[in-house]
Amino acid sequence: MPVRKSYVLLGSVVVWIFLARILNGRHTLQIATYENTSFTSFVGERALSIRGNRTESTAFIYFFNPIRGVIDGFVQAIRDLIAVPAPNSVIPIIGWLGVIGIVAFVVFATSQWRTALLSVSLLLGCGVLGMWQFTMDSIALTLAAVLLSLAFGLPLGIWAGLSDRALKVMTPFLDLAQILPTLVYMAPIALVFMIGAASATIATMIYAIPICIRITSHAIRTLNPAPVEASLSMGSTSSQTLRKVQMPMAKQMIVLGINQTVMAALSFVVIAALIGAPGLGNPVISALIIRNVGQGFVAGIAVVFLAILMDRSTSAAAKRQETFIPPSAQDIKRKRLTLLITGILAIVTVFISRTVLWAAIWPKEFMVARQVQEITNDVTAWILENLFIFTNGLKDLISYSILNPLETILSQSPWYLTVSMIICLAVVIGGVRTGILAGVLAMCIVVSGLWFESMLTLTQTIVGTLLTMIFGMALGIWVGRSDRAARSLRPFLDAGQTLPAFVYLVPILGLFGPTRFTAILTGVIYATPVVVKLVSEGIRSVPTTLIEAATAAGSTTRQIIMKVQLPAAKKTIVLATNQGLIYVLAVVVIGGFVGGGGLGYLVIVGNSKPELQGKGLIAGACILLLGVIFDRIMQAGARRSS
Amino acid sequence: MKSLFRRRSAVLSAVIAAALVVSGCSSSVNDSAGEASGDCGSWAIAMHAWNGYTASAQVVAEIAKKELGCSITQTTLDEGPTTYDAMEAGTIDLIIEDWGGGRWQEWTDRGAVIDLGDGGNVGLIGVYVAPWMVEKYPDIVDSKNLGKYADLFKNADSGGKGAWYEGPPGYTTIGEKMVSANKLNFKVIFAGSEAALIDGFTKAEANKTAFIGYAWQPWTLHAKLPNLEKGHVKFPANDWADAATASGLTDYPSTPLKKLVSKKLNDSNGAFMTLIKNFKWTNDDQNLVALDIENGSTPEAAAQKWIDAHADIVKTWLGK
């Protein structure tokens, strides 16, 4: 059966390529960037009327505008506290020394002194890089978004953890939010809530809340049922059980959920600058636009520092909950005393930061931003000059060998041919129902009028996924088989997962210029860590008995990998491919900023040209449609292969 | 364990509360740092991402900070509706150089954005080839002859046609129309950034490779490649003002660049508003500052240098 399936796939691909050759250039539905279809211009007019009605329509006056006001005020309050000078003043309410004192104290109180020391040095690092105010702005925005996300996410997560029906209702939304590329929902949000901190906060929340809900409900669902049953049988009410038994037991997991929520919010920090968020995103984006690799690098490091700080301090707090050894009376006393002393120290730093100028505003003498920038720019210039043959050769190799032929097949053949091919693939991989769904969604793209651009984006996504899987599988198998590899690669994988793609988009742009390849490579770097993690988990979960049996039968390592571990981990690998594809898609569209073209460029151009606004919004929807089509096909495929 | 945790959170909140109380006390830094406590108020300038804009905005910002004691924030934003929306929302007060040619109409009609007229700079957009090509192919600068040279411009990304590079998303552009209306065998590639164009032109000139792309005046690249203007491809004289109605057969118009302010700033009638109203300088002035920035000086230092050297002009802007 599986053999026949792959023959069908191969056969249809051959027929497809053949037909694409014959019908090349016909019915491609290509329209110029400045052209609107009647549908896109209709959407554009609707969007314009929303813009115009902001001050008049009741929905805005009584609903959206108050929400915007409240969130804006909240963010601004935190910014006034630590980041921006108050009116008629040159310093924020708490200067840098005070912020460091408070952070050190909070981290020390919730975890341990080592983490506190790390946090302090990371913050000092941000200051030395000349990014103090941007960092504080980012912290303010992240803090606001995380607090609001938790306010919604924790109750919803607990509800979904307790009630099967609630979980069932929420799941499709959670799934959708997870494959929704960030670039897609920013424009609609900015349309309703305008450019500014409120829009950025709301967009961040949309990204972070699903993660919070998922982990919280998972935490409650995976609890040991015995204590819960005992509590209920002893006559506790369900709310008592929740508060006294389930919540305390799930606490560690929930803190982990908070950690993940913080990281999700933080990974939004850069891209949120596109819709007016204050913070580290601004220097990164402007570095991208003026292509100043050094500036992007400096700001990128500050983002990394901030990510490590947030990650370590929250995950250390989670670990702390683990210990069940009751502390001795002496321990408590000592701890309380040190807490008191450090607390007083923190207050003193706040006081100093309000009395002395050098403790309020980061002194210019303690900055190396300029030097770091110059060194980075010199290094990049050297690489550009001396490795040009290599970088350009790599780019041209990929472009001529895979990218161009695939783009010709997808974008230059008639739309009906490609749609039938998508349906055909969906039926073979996922079954008839998946085929119908894929067909309907593909037709939606056709009707939207952005078929041609969608195919450009699809090409880049496929090539990116291909490269991701090549790297991801190789590394994943290695990590899955060797503990040492797992240990040494882990920091890179973690960093890769939390770093916003924009941070490395700038240096890649420096190396490969404004091309599709730059977009694809950024996607590959973003998606590879996830694939490596999933594949290695799949390899590790293969029962050891199987491998021992194969070894006993005299198989070579190569045979064990190819014949035992990979087939046994097939389902995970299909899921990893799916994740990889969704991740690549989410980043490839950002490539519109750097010459990648396709749907991403339309989204961006729609933001800046009113006559193309409708087209930009539709382009966002098409990105989503592409994502859903492939997610459904792969999910169905994974389900079948198990 | 539990009691320890409770105590710990109690201490935690006590300390934070105390820290907030301390931070609420009057600060002596504020009193001693009097330079910024003028009654100018605090204003936000939109920072668009080309160096010329940075030059104008930074000069204004430095004067406002040093001479008027305003508190100025500078926010990087895309040009066009993004920024107009921010002005309507009250988060941005000033665009010092707008190329939009009337795209703000809808916002000015609503009174959310006010057009303060010309800032003195005049923008001229055009299609340029790398200057070395003009010597080798003298007739290339006539748009009628572009077609026959299309093959020179082929590369990995242009799909068998010539590669024709356009600027960032927000810029006024009719490149696609020019290509199709003149039946040129080119593929339009949106480079996405000014830097990509600078890079394209300079690399092409250095390596004697072919390059055709979007360029404009005032632009610092003209200082780096003094022959660039020779590469300006001539299309028939401009006959349109709104890019949406352009045929693609004729050239870009020259655009007086505008100063736009928010309603709040316009109504303030304060010292900063006077400065913005009076601000006016030439393309040469702007290029002077922009070139310094491009050569590695900080925008602040470059602006200050110009301000120090042109005290008389600054004085007229301040209305003194």
Mutate to test the interface with B, among A72, A290, A356 (most CBs of B within 10 A): A290
CA distance B19 to chain A (A): 5
Q: How distant, in Å, are the alpha carbons of A16, A408, A413, A453 from that of A24?
A: 11, 8, 5, 17
CA distance A288 to chain B (A): 8
B70 to chain A: closest CA residue: A88
Return the pLDDT at A138.
93
Whether residues A90 and B42 touch (CB distance < 8 A) is answered with no
Tokens of A28: 């491609």
Share of chain A above pLDDT 90, in %: 22
Return the pLDDT at B23.
65
Return the pLDDT at A332.
78
CATH architecture, domain defined by A387-641: Orthogonal Bundle (1.10)
**Out of A120-124, A358-362, A508-512, B25-29, which region has the weakest mean confidence (pLDDT)?**
B25-29
B266/A contact by beta carbon, under 8 A: no
Tokens of A641: 């292969």
Whether residues A610 and B169 touch (CB distance < 8 A) is answered with no
Q: Name A234's Cβ contacts closer than 8 Å, sequence gap at least 6.
A: none
Q: Could you tell me if B87 and B260 are in contact, meaning their C-beta atoms sit under 8 angstroms apart?
A: yes
Instruction: For residue B214, give the DSSP letter.
Output: E
**Fold match between domain A52-379 and domain A387-641:** yes
Whether residues A347 and B18 touch (CB distance < 8 A) is answered with yes
What distance, in Å, lies between the first and last C-alpha atoms of chain B?
Answer: 71
Whether residues B195 and A289 touch (CB distance < 8 A) is answered with yes
Q: Collapsing DSSP states into helix, strand and coil, what is residue A201? A: helix
Nearest to A516 among B12, B157, B193 (CB): B157
A53/B contact by beta carbon, under 8 A: no
Phi, then psi, of B137 in degrees rounded to 5: -125, 80
Angle between helix axes A2-22 and A404-412 (nearest 10 degrees) is 80
Partners of residue A336 in chain B, C-beta under 8 Å: 7, 11
B22/A contact by beta carbon, under 8 A: yes
Return the pLDDT at B35.
43
Q: Collapsing DSSP states into helix, strand and coil, what is residue B73? A: strand
Q: How many helices (H) and strands (E) does chain A have?
A: 32, 0
pLDDT averaged over chain A?
85
Whether residues A357 and B29 touch (CB distance < 8 A) is answered with yes
A294/B contact by beta carbon, under 8 A: no
Residue type (1 letter), A508? I
Nearest to A195 among B25, B79, B89 (CB): B89
pLDDT tens-digit readout, A98-116: 899 999 888 888 878 888 9
Nearest to A196 among B89, B199, B244 (CB): B89
CA distance A129 to chain B (A): 15
Whether residues B73 and A343 touch (CB distance < 8 A) is answered with no
- What mean pLDDT is predicted for residues A13-41? 82
Q: Could you tell me if A131 and A299 are in contact, meaning their C-beta atoms sit under 8 angstroms apart?
A: yes
pLDDT tens-digit readout, A363-410: 877 778 778 888 888 888 888 778 878 888 898 999 999 899 998 888
A397/B contact by beta carbon, under 8 A: no
B245/A contact by beta carbon, under 8 A: no
Mutate to test the interface with B, among A45, A81, A89, A517 (most CBs of B within 10 A): A89
Interface of A with B in 335-374 (CB under 8 A): 335-336, 339-340, 343, 346-347, 350-351, 354-357, 360, 370, 374
Whether residues B189 and A597 touch (CB distance < 8 A) is answered with yes
Q: pLDDT tens, position by position, for chain B (320 residues)? A: 444 445 566 666 777 777 666 666 655 554 433 344 457 888 999 988 788 899 999 999 999 999 898 888 888 777 777 788 888 878 889 999 998 766 788 888 888 899 998 888 888 899 999 999 999 999 999 988 998 899 999 988 888 899 999 988 778 889 999 999 999 999 999 887 777 888 889 889 988 999 999 999 888 888 788 889 999 999 998 888 778 788 889 999 888 899 999 999 999 888 999 999 999 999 889 988 988 887 778 888 999 999 999 999 999 999 87
- What mean pLDDT is predicted for residues A59-77? 86
Partners of residue B27 in chain A, C-beta under 8 Å: 89, 91, 354-355, 360
Q: Name A104's Cβ contacts closer than 8 Å, sequence gap at least 6.
A: A116, A117, A119, A120, A342, A346
Q: Could you tell me if B290 and B220 are in contact, meaning their C-beta atoms sit under 8 angstroms apart?
A: yes
Task: Find tokens 């080839």 and name the residue.
Answer: B129
Q: How distant, in Å, are the alpha carbons of A313, A358, A497, B6 from that of A316?
A: 5, 32, 19, 18
Q: Which fold has domain B39-122+256-317?
A: D-Maltodextrin-Binding Protein; domain 2 (3.40.190)
Cα–Cα distance measured from residue A594 to residue A414, given in angstroms and rounded to the nearest whole number: 28
Return the pLDDT at A640.
78
Q: Could you tell me if B117 and B258 are in contact, meaning their C-beta atoms sit under 8 angstroms apart?
A: yes
Return the pLDDT at B3.
45
Q: Please report, for chain B, the start and end positions of each structural domain, with discontinuous segments joined by +.
A: 39-122+256-317, 123-254
Cα–Cα distance measured from residue B213 to residue B205, given in angstroms and rounded to the nearest whole number: 13
> Is the pLDDT assigned to residue A179 strictly greater than 80?
no
Partners of residue B104 in chain A, C-beta under 8 Å: none
Interface of B with A in 196-235 (CB under 8 A): 196, 198-199
A137/B contact by beta carbon, under 8 A: no
Whether residues B80 and A288 touch (CB distance < 8 A) is answered with no
A610 to chain B: closest CA residue: B81
Partners of residue B78 in chain A, C-beta under 8 Å: 274, 607-608
**Fold match between domain B39-122+256-317 and domain B123-254:** yes
The three-state DSSP-derived secondary structure of A97-136 is: HHHHHHHHHHHHHHCCHHHHHHHHHHHHHHHHCCCHHHHH
Q: Could you tell me if A641 and A572 are in contact, meaning their C-beta atoms sit under 8 angstroms apart?
A: no
Return the pLDDT at A325.
63
Return the pLDDT at B31.
42
Whether residues A195 and B86 touch (CB distance < 8 A) is answered with yes
Cα–Cα distance measured from residue A489 to residue A494, given in angstroms and rounded to the nearest whole number: 9
Q: Could you tell me if A615 and A44 are in contact, meaning their C-beta atoms sit under 8 angstroms apart?
A: yes
Q: How distant, in Å, are the alpha carbons of A30, A381, A413, A597 from that of A25?
A: 10, 41, 6, 19
Whether residues A608 and B81 touch (CB distance < 8 A) is answered with yes
A51/B contact by beta carbon, under 8 A: yes
B17/A contact by beta carbon, under 8 A: no
pLDDT tens-digit readout, A456-472: 999 999 999 999 999 99
- Among the listed residues B58, B76, B56, B261, the one whose alpha carbon sits nearest the alpha carbon of residue B168: B76
Cα–Cα distance measured from residue A436 to residue A427, given in angstroms and rounded to the nearest whole number: 8
Q: Give the ipTM.
A: 0.77
Angle between helix axes B194-207 and A281-290 (nearest 10 degrees) is 30
Residue type (1 letter), A291? R
Return the pLDDT at A483.
87
Q: Which fold has domain A52-379?
A: MetI-like fold (1.10.3720)
Return the pLDDT at B61.
94
Residue type (1 letter), B216? W
Mutate to test the interface with B, among A347, A370, A392, A520 (most CBs of B within 10 A): A347
A609/B contact by beta carbon, under 8 A: yes
CATH architecture, domain defined by B123-254: 3-Layer(aba) Sandwich (3.40)
List, as one string, the DSSP characters of A77-93.
HHHHHHTSPPTT-SS-S
pLDDT tens-digit readout, A534-586: 898 888 888 888 888 888 888 888 888 888 888 888 888 888 898 899 889 98
Q: Please report, for chain A, the start and end positions of each structural domain, with discontinuous segments joined by +.
A: 52-379, 387-641
Phi, then psi, of A618 in degrees rounded to 5: -65, -40
Of residues A519 and A330, more confidence is placed in: A519
Cα–Cα distance measured from residue B190 to residue B101, given in angstroms and rounded to the nearest whole number: 21
Q: Could you tell me if B248 and B181 are in contact, meaning their C-beta atoms sit under 8 angstroms apart?
A: yes
B42 to chain A: closest CA residue: A87
